[in-house]
Amino acid sequence: MKNFNSFKNETLCIICAKSNSEGVKNKNIKKINGHPLVLYAINKAKKNNFKHICISTENNKIVKIAKKKGINVFFKRSKKLCKKSTPKLSVWKDAIKKSEIFFEKKFKYIVDIEVTNPLINSDDLNNFTKSYFNKKKKYDGQFCITPAKKNPYFNIMEYINGKYLLSKKIRNIKITARQNAPKVFEHVGGLYYFKRNYLLQCKSLFQGKIFGFNVSLFKSFDIDSQSDFKLVELLLKNKKNI
């Protein structure tokens, strides 16, 4: 337990929450089951006793929500890093550099809590953290996955030259049943754990050795549209099924 607590103290916890959102207006501060969406991420970080928390935002309302929970928002994210085309990797690198100046500490790891997935709770974060703690020597990072509901080798199609064709093929082998197709997984926007040095040096998030942490289907939905918002709200209200 002592080593695990030390591991967490060497971790920077990042919560990224910008203002603009195309699918759902003001998504990160929109209330879901009576609470602003960003608050679910903040509460997960607090309940897991991460001492070093960085909120990357340019939104004053998010700053106020964080301050009410005792989190010091020590910088505002630049407009350049708030564009819809900005990769999250760039936002992480910016947060790491600013956090290390503020905390006067060089971190070994970062954990990112995705604001758009409140279905993943504080217990999931604890299990996710323990998982990477046990695998950190072998892997550069860890992210969430779930078995894909559809398989590109069997029932995901592309429309090419006026025809519907399978998205992926295996040479000339015909796959006649989904069970015989290669296993595929969906990337779930939920939690990320990475070595700090890896993030600062890599150009692509998955170029290193990355481990997939399985979450259930019921925890795999993140909010990107009004339909997503309604679905996630229903699932949160019926927590027994999660």
Mean pLDDT of 155-167: 89
**SS3 of 154, please?**
coil
Mean pLDDT of 8-25: 89
Mean pLDDT of 170-185: 80
Residue 165 lies in a domain: no
Residues near 240 by beta carbon (within 8 Å), at least 6 away in sequence: none
Closest to 10 (Cα-Cα) out of 103, 85, 139, 145: 103
Give the domain range for residue 40. Answer: 2-148+184-241
How many structural domains comprise the chain? 1
Residue 20 lies in a domain: yes
Closest to 97 (Cα-Cα) out of 56, 136, 61: 56
- Please give the pLDDT value at position 35: 94
Q: What is the CATH number of the domain that holds 48?
A: 3.90.550.10
- Please give the pLDDT value at position 181: 82
- Please give the pLDDT value at position 133: 98
Q: Encode 109-125: b = buried (16+ Cβ within 10 Å), e = exposed.
A: bbbbbbbbbbbbbeebb
Query: Is the predicted pLDDT of residue 175 greater than 80, yes or no?
Result: no
Confidence of residue 20 (pLDDT cuts 50, 70, 90): confident
Residue 164 lies in a domain: no
- Please give the pLDDT value at position 190: 96
Phi and psi at residue 97, in whole multiples of 5°?
A: -60, -45
DSSP string, 34-96: TEEHHHHHHHHHHHTT-S-EEEE---HHHHHHHHHTT--------GGGGSTT--HHHHHHHHH
Residue 174 lies in a domain: no
- Please give the pLDDT value at position 170: 80
**SS3 of 10, please?**
coil
Global pTM value: 0.92
Query: Is the predicted pLDDT of residue 28 greater than 70, yes or no?
Result: yes
Give me the sign of the Cα torsion angle 128, 129, 135, 138.
positive
- Please give the pLDDT value at position 184: 92
Residue 189 lies in a domain: yes
Residue 214 lies in a domain: yes
Report the chain's mean pLDDT, rounded to a whole number. 93
pLDDT digits (tens, 9 = 90+) for 107-133: 999 999 999 999 999 999 999 999 999
Phi and psi at residue 215, in whole multiples of 5°?
A: -125, 160
Tokens standing for 94? 């910016």
Residue 75 lies in a domain: yes
pLDDT digits (tens, 9 = 90+) for 182-237: 899 999 999 999 999 999 999 999 999 999 999 999 999 999 899 999 999 999 98
